[in-house]
Amino acid sequence: MHTASTTSAGGLVAPTSGVDPVCGMSVQADKAAATLQFEGKQYLFCSNSCRNKFEEAPQRYLGNADTAVSALAAPDHGAPMQAALGRALSGQAKDPVCGMVVNKATALRSDRSGRSYYFCSAGCQRTFDSPEQEMKSMRMRVTIALTGVLALAIMRASAFLALATGATIVSWVPIDALPWLNGGMWLFLLVTPVQFIGGWSFYVGSWNALKNRSINMDLLIALGTTVAYLYSVAVLFFPWVLPIEVDQRDVYFEVSAVIIAFVLLGKYMEEIIKKHSSAAVRKLLDLKPATAQVVRDGVEMEVPADSLMVGETVVVRPGQRIATDGLVLDGASAVDESMLTGESMPVEKQAGARVIGGTLNRTGSFRFQATRVGAETALAQIIKMVEDAQASSAPIQRIADQVTRYFVPTVVATAFLAFAGWWLMGNFSQGLLAFIAVLIIACPCALGIATPAALMVGVGRGAQAGILIRGGEILEKAQKLDTVVFDKTGTLTRGEPNVTDVLVQEGWTRAQTLGLAASLEAGSEHPLAEAIVRGAREEGVTATAVEGFDSIPGHGVQGRINGAAVLLGNRRLMQREGVDTGSVQSAMELLEADGKTAMLLSSGGRLVGVIAVADTVRPEAQEAIAALRSEKIQVIMLSGDNQRTADAIGRILGIDRVIADVLPADKSKVIKDLQAQGRVVAMVGDGVNDAPALATADIGIAIGSGSDVAKETGGIILVRNDVRDVVTGIRLSRATMRTIKQNLFWAFIYNTGGLPIAALGFLNPMIASAAMALSSLSVIINSALLKRVKLGEVTIKKEQHHV
């Protein structure tokens, strides 16, 4: 099968059709979800998922030469693409389960929602793909380990009770007939399953760590328990190979078993807590349906949701989840978007409305055209941001990572030195115990999970509330935040003018006044005219036919309604037509002092009234400002309006500092000036013109309804159009950072304090294992408590505030 192509004006061979090299589907160029140039050829893909798979490992899919089109004149951006592809092929990734950095070329991989995930081990992959199955497997290993330890405890207790009653083991064990059936052999039989079945995951983790040339917790646990086990085996079966004389009772099987049991139990409890703490991402992943009803060649069919292409028509029925992002073609329904936006009320959808993949269709049926698929959908982007944030590291964690890098080899060296020291002093067994205790107590697992555990809970809680935090660096900056700068339009205000005041003269009603004005403005596209027409429609006022309509530049509009000459405009228009406006001059001045645009309306040469229009303040903005001030954060408003209008809005919202007449290009300069004063600044905005300021600020906070450019540059994204979430996001960031610091502090204390105690022989390895498991568990529990932190969310007041 050959690929059809046409040559563009630029000399590049543009394919008109081809075969997706990953799945083999025939793809038309105008419907291709993605394209990629590689080694002078251009490839078409049915979905971004296939493109991502190809980009990760192109050589795997290059068997079919017919899938590509030669690029005779590759554009300049081809070289960067090739460089990025080379980095992807030889790059590294972070295991989303354990956080280990792995080589993409050798790591295990799973693909989901158009994105690839890499794992250090099959266990981590199973935990990610099938968490319930992996939990079941871990539960089995914990049961085996605890059963073995319980049997050891019963055996020890029975021996002590027998001695206490004067009995001896000789009375019931035929030692002469079975000389090998002694206490050491019973321990060996009980502990071996614990060592190699219960502790199997530690050996697998150690092997994967060594392959990646690193040392992790599994290696330390495996090394310590294996030394105790193999030494005991040597004492029991090959005592002559040891450098000292030993008694067969000097075995440490129970040390090995108890360490494995305690550590496994601790990890199992950690997984249970983490399962609940990290539920946010899995809930988001579960939103996407597996299949979709699509119309192809006039026939409706069920296909995998991942195979949808841009431009295809998708059918949605009541109770079904929407498979991808798109625009409604026909039909109507109410869609539940609460999981993504936090809005509890279903949103009405009609032809032309946008729908979001993963949301739930409630009532009617409709058809929509797919506009974004795979990794480009809003749901996939949210999942990616949340996962990237959870996998990121705060700058403070990088210090811990550096310490861990040198700490672990130091621990191993200390363990050997402690062993050698005790041996030279003539106490081999104490040296062995010190060696094991050092390895176990100094295991930096609590240090390693201090930041990821808190991030997982904090970022997950934010995602459930519609607050997306991009990473740990944002959290650390939020702790030092002392200034928040708001762009006015679309952030603190609605971004569109609305009728705020209607003043009427004697003999006229509000409805009549709005009706005359709306009739004149019905055909205009001016924002002020649209505000009047919309205001009249919202109050149930109908427009009347207008004759002789005329627009007078710089003055207003005029026309005849029911035979009377009607004027709507400014003072100059009324003066020109001889209409007396003296009775409303003081009222107009008050309206204009509040930053409102006041328009005069007359009919038949007599004044009818005044209609004021302004950009209205969001009802929740005043509460958000008050909450920020209660956090000792200075609030500044930027506006392109004149100083009088901006000050009026500032007074209503309680903002002390208002910077007016700011051009879009100058917003980032204002941020830089504040930073030069030593301030840590957050910028809140929603438009394309806010993007430079969002990028310049220490923390950019983008409103979810804003432009894609603004959201790309924001460090915190508010999915809902609610500025109160600015306060909640800052409080959540500070609470998460506080938890990270608590985790790191106690982990450092535990590791540094326990090491010398173990090396000096004051710590039994079994107690060390319990303490190590407890330290990790305490970090997980402390992080899980973030779900209970009260962020002091403010509530919407019912009254409407107008500028």
Q: What are the residue numbers of the active site? A: 487
176 burial level (CB within 10 Å; 0-12, 13-18, 19+):
exposed
For the sheet with 467-469, list strands across it: 467-469, 716-718, 699-703, 681-685, 483-487, 634-638, 657-659
Q: Where are the alpha helices (DSSP H) in 714-790?
A: 724-759, 765-784
Give the distance, in angstroms, between the CA of residue 766 and the centroid of all CA atoms in the same chain.
39
Measured CA to CA, the distance from residue 227 to residue 222 in angstroms comes to 8
Measured CA to CA, the distance from residue 434 to residue 432 in angstroms comes to 5
Closest CA to 716 of 466, 492, 383, 454: 466
For the sheet with 333-336, list strands across it: 347-349, 333-336, 360-361
Measured CA to CA, the distance from residue 752 to residue 746 in angstroms comes to 10
Pairing, β 34-38 against β 360-361:
unpaired
Measured CA to CA, the distance from residue 598 to residue 714 in angstroms comes to 37
At 555, give phi and psi (nearest 5°): -125, -55
Q: Where are the alpha helices (DSSP H) in 244-394?
A: 253-277, 279-287, 338-341, 378-391
- Helix, strand, or coil (residue 109): strand
Q: Give the CA angle between residues 68, 72, 74 to the nearest 5°.
A: 90
Closest CA to 38 of 81, 2, 6, 5: 81
Q: Where are the alpha helices (DSSP H) in 465-555?
A: 472-479, 510-521, 527-538
Measured CA to CA, the distance from residue 390 to residue 281 in angstroms comes to 10
Measured CA to CA, the distance from residue 257 to residue 721 in angstroms comes to 56
Measured CA to CA, the distance from residue 130 to residue 110 in angstroms comes to 11
At 504, give phi and psi (nearest 5°): -120, 150
At 351, give phi and psi (nearest 5°): -55, 130
Measured CA to CA, the distance from residue 775 to residue 606 in angstroms comes to 83
Closest CA to 253 of 757, 766, 763: 766
Measured CA to CA, the distance from residue 787 to residue 781 in angstroms comes to 10
Residues with Cβ within 8 Å of residue 548, at least 6 apart in sequence: 558, 559, 560
Please spell the DSSP secondary structure of 535-574, one letter per residue: HHHHTTPPP---EEEEEETTTEEEEEETTEEEEEE-HHHH
- Helix, strand, or coil (residue 286): helix
Q: Which two tokens stand for residue 159?
A: 């021996």
Q: Give the CA angle between residues 154, 156, 161 to the nearest 5°.
A: 90
Task: Fill in the amino acid letter for 521.
Answer: E
The count of other CB atoms within 10 Å of the CB of residue 164 is: 8
Residues with Cβ within 8 Å of residue 415, at least 6 apart in sequence: 434, 435, 436, 438, 439, 759
